[in-house]
Amino acid sequence: MFPSRFPRPVRLGLYALAAAILLVLCVMPSRDLPDPGTGDRFEHTAAWFVLTLTGYVLAPNRRLAIPAFALAYGALIEVLQGAAGTGRHSDTADFVADSLGVALAVAVFLLVRRFAPR
């Protein structure tokens, strides 16, 4: 069974779980996070790429809503990082990296959708 065929409440719950995990990772103190050595910008790009693709896997017909949410969520998280007092800070470059991840996921989604057998 394809995830996009799960009942809507299940799909929304799975996407909310993915968003919640990302929120926790983004607002917890950076000293508590493992350092994979890939750099903060790569991690932001990868996280928003995965968030956006997860949305498309769960709801492929929401072509505009998924990236719009991901971008708004990225902006919100940057604001929360600046206000949380956990040693994290708001950074426009992080939001640019988030946007790049969203754009890459949209491109992958459109390419797969265009060339996938019907």
Average pLDDT in the chain: 87
**Can you tell me the distance from the alpha carbon of 53 to that of 57, in angstroms, rounded to the nearest whole number?**
6
Handedness of CA 34, 38, 41, 42 (dihedral sign): negative
**23 CB-contact burial (10 Å; exposed 0-12 / middle 13-18 / buried 19+):** middle
As a whole-number percent, the residues of the chain with pLDDT over 90 amount to 53
Provide the H-helix boundaries in the chain: 8-27, 40-58, 65-83, 92-115
Q: Return the structure tokens found at 11.
A: 């799909």
Cα 88 to Cα 32, 38, 50, 70, 71: the distances in Å are 11, 18, 22, 20, 19
pLDDT in tens, 40-73: 788 889 999 999 999 999 999 999 999 999 999 9
Cα 82 to Cα 8, 52, 87, 105, 114: the distances in Å are 34, 23, 8, 26, 40
Handedness of CA 24, 44, 6, 59 (dihedral sign): positive
pLDDT at 30: 64
